């Protein structure tokens, strides 16, 4: 037996040195990735600002549009790789959280096997697409050919695959399982079968099982696109695989290179700058100083602050996780029970989705216009969401005011000294939406430039807060925060890119046309169609995140809206309001899971707490659906 005081053996020293070297290498690589994606986001913010400045001298940055588009591509792939590095790729399933022992190991192996197959198939398709004659030879700027910038796609998918393999097990033996299974699946699908239609449903069943077992969302959607294109598109055996994987890659590159998508990471970056410091505390102090002495004041604080943050982050999950701990004491100190407080925060987290410049509004305008059936401007969509968003906010506040126990109401006169101090403290944050909306609606800047101005203004607020208020180490904190933003944006963009492949297949298979024919033959009333649409969209909101739902579902419902004479702006607000409602719908609404995690409560308790606010949202969504004036009046006023 070895004595505890004995010196370590040479073998132990060697293992310790190897482990230390591996840890250092991983830290250096992770830091490099963080700095690269932070630099990319910084360039995306700086280039439009430079364009604004040079416009005054009738000049500009040559190739800036193409540079921005390829920076979005880089952020998509690098952000996805960082999400995989942190084992935080977005997934639909929470089923694996309940598995233990061998069952958990089997679930990880299954999900990783299918994920490796899908990831490397798309990555190989990206490599082949880049090497297609003439695709990567064009020179974009600085004399660099486009293939250099496109190479981030196969490299990114390679990193994704390797990191999925790493997290698939705790030993090399377990990690070998998804490698062998993924390779086997790839060689099976690349075999020149004469007829492959019989394999489609078994492969789809395997993909569904892998999704339940925890496969990332981009794998579920991208895998569905690959399988359907491979099995049901009618290609000849010798061209089936090549066309399938290259089509997926081409669609990914084409969509992520959409110029308007630059606004998505920029507005998200503005939200992250805002959320990093003490902005939320300053806003809470201001609103509480004004409304704290009236009935329902705590709810007014909660609703307005949540709506403000969701508007700029575009993600209700970020709002619940970031503000839940701050706002829970505010509600409980006003006499609300723990159950009522959890229900309020779970619902209020999604408020703000309909206010400009929230990201889902931008994405809906992009995707709906891409159908070629309608033409939407960002300005019209933003104005269309303003009144319905305000309606949901007011209804939520009204419910909170009614719900507050009478015994806990303590009316107090306004403290103008406190209001003045709180107002001065939050003045910077209050100007952010004014800056964003002025840039958007004044004609002073394009949507991309408006997003850049908003992000830069939020960056200045962050610098002041970090340097003089919190005394934070900016050199350390800033790259970490920007890489966190890149992780979220990259994960979302990756999902959107592969989702376009599924959308293209649905259009190729004429699914929208078939839906239009069925709806015309079955549904005679416009009101009945809207009711059916509401039910279907609530289900979609439960099963899909809002971004991938926009990509996949909007091309299906826009033709239906045209047939039934629904204004495309009204259709978009109905769509987003229902997805917002789906976040709260049991048993699998996304906000329910996030609230359960944030507050450490069982799902059943969170569901019960959220039911009253769910009923409020249902009434609000029905009003938005059947009173189109709420949506169309403001855009029509400025035409």
pLDDT tens string 184-199: 999 898 877 777 888 8
* Mean pLDDT of all residues in 257-263: 76
* Mean pLDDT of all residues in 383-392: 93
DSSP string, 212-255: HTT-BHHHHHHHHHHHHHHHHS---HHHHHHHHHHHHHHHHHHH
Measured distance CA(586)–CA(589) in Å, rounded: 6
pLDDT tens sequence across 443-478: 777 888 888 998 999 999 999 888 888 888 888 888
The reported pLDDT for the residue numbered 256 is 72
| Choice between 620 and 133, residue whose per-residue pLDDT is larger | 620
Measured distance CA(376)–CA(560) in Å, rounded: 17
The reported pLDDT for the residue numbered 207 is 94
**SS3 per-residue string spanning 447-508:** HHHHHHHHHHHHHHHHHHHHHHHCCCCHHHHHHHHHHHHHHHHHHHHHHHHHHHHHHHHHHH
β-strands 144-145, 139-141: how paired? antiparallel
Residue 348 has pLDDT above 90, yes or no: no
pLDDT tens sequence across 410-434: 666 778 888 899 889 888 888 888 8
- Output the pTM of the full model: 0.82
Least confident of 209-223, 382-396, 436-450: 436-450
Residue 210 has pLDDT above 70, yes or no: yes
* Mean pLDDT of all residues in 483-509: 84
Average pLDDT score over the chain? 83
Quote the Cα angle for 386-389-394, to 5°.
Answer: 120
Residue 2 has pLDDT above 50, yes or no: no
Q: Which helix (H) or strand (E) holds 577?
A: helix 568-582
pLDDT tens sequence across 507-558: 888 888 888 888 888 887 888 888 888 888 887 877 777 777 888 888 888 9
Residue 158 has pLDDT above 50, yes or no: yes
Q: Dmax over Cα atoms in the chain, in whole Å?
A: 87
Residue 17 has pLDDT above 60, yes or no: no
- Kindly state the percentage of the chain with pLDDT values over 90: 23
Place of tokens 């004469």: 194
Least confident of 1-5, 154-158, 160-164, 543-547: 1-5
Residue 209 has pLDDT above 90, yes or no: yes
Residue 236 has pLDDT above 80, yes or no: no
């Amino acid at each position: 037996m070895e004595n505890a005081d004995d010196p370590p053996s040479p073998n132990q020293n060697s293992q310790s040195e190897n482990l230390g070297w591996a840890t250092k290498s991983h830290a250096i690589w992770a830091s490099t990735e963080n700095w690269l994606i932070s630099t990319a986001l910084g360039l995306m913010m700086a280039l439009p600002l430079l364009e604004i400045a040079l416009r005054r001298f009738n000049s500009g940055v040559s190739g800036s549009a193409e540079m921005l588009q390829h920076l979005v591509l880089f952020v998509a792939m690098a952000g996805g790789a960082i999400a995989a590095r942190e084992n935080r790729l977005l997934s639909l399933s929470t089923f694996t959280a309940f598995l233990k022992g061998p069952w958990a190991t089997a679930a990880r192996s299954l999900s990783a096997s299918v994920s490796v197959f899908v990831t490397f198939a798309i990555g190989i398709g990206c490599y082949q697409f880049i090497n297609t004659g003439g695709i990567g030879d064009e020179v974009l700027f600085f004399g660099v050919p486009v293939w250099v910038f496109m190479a981030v796609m196969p490299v990114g998918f390679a990193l994704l695959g390797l990191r999925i393999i790493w997290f698939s097990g705790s030993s090399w033996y377990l990690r070998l399982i998804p490698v062998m299974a993924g390779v086997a699946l790839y060689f099976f699908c690349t075999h020149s079968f004469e007829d492959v239609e019989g394999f489609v449903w078994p492969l789809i069943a395997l993909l569904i099982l892998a999704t339940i077992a925890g496969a990332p969302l981009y794998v579920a959607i991208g895998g569905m696109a690959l399988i359907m294109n491979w099995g049901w598109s009618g290609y000849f055996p010798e061209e089936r695989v090549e066309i399938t994987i290259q089509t997926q890659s081409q669609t990914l590159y084409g969509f992520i290179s959409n110029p308007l998508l630059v606004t998505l990471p920029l507005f998200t970056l503005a939200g992250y700058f805002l959320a990093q410091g003490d902005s939320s505390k300053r806003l809470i102090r201001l609103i509480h100083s004004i409304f704290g002495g009236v009935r329902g004041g705590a709810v007014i604080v909660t609703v307005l602050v949540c709506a403000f943050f969701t508007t700029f982050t575009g993600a209700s999950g970020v709002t619940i996780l970031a503000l839940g701990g701050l706002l829970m004491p505010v509600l409980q100190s006003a006499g609300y029970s723990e159950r009522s407080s959890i229900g309020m925060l779970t619902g209020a987290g999604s408020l703000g989705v309909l206010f400009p410049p929230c990201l889902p509004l931008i994405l809906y305008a992009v995707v709906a216009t891409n159908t070629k059936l309608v033409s939407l401007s960002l300005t019209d969509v933003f104005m269309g969401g303003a009144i319905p968003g305000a309606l949901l906010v007011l209804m939520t506040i009204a419910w909170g005011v009614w719900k507050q126990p009478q015994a806990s109401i303590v009316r107090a006169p306004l403290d103008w000294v406190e209001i003045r101090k709180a107002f001065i403290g939050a003045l910077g944050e209050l100007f952010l939406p004014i800056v964003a909306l002025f840039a958007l609606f004044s004609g002073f800047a394009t949507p991309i430039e408006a997003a850049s101005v908003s992000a830069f203004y939020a960056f200045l607020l962050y610098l002041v807060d970090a340097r003089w208020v919190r005394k934070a180490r900016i050199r350390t904190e800033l790259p970490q925060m920007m890489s966190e933003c890149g992780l979220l944006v990259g994960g979302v963009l990756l999902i959107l890119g592969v989702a376009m492949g599924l959308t293209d297949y649905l259009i190729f298979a004429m699914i929208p046309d078939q839906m239009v024919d069925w709806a015309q033959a079955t549904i005679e009333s416009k009101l009945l169609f809207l009711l059916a649409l509401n039910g279907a969209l609530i289900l979609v909101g439960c099963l899909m995140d809002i971004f991938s739902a926009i990509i996949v579902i909007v091309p299906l419902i826009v033709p239906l809206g045209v047939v039934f004479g629904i204004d495309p702006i009204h259709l978009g607000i109905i769509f987003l309001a229902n997805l917002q409602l789906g976040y709260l719908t049991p048993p699998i609404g996304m906000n329910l899971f996030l609230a359960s995690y944030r507050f450490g409560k069982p799902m059943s308790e969170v569901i019960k707490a959220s039911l009253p606010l769910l009923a409020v949202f249902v009434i609000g969504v029905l009003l938005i659906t059947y009173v189109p004036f709420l949506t169309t009046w403001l855009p029509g006023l400025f035409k």
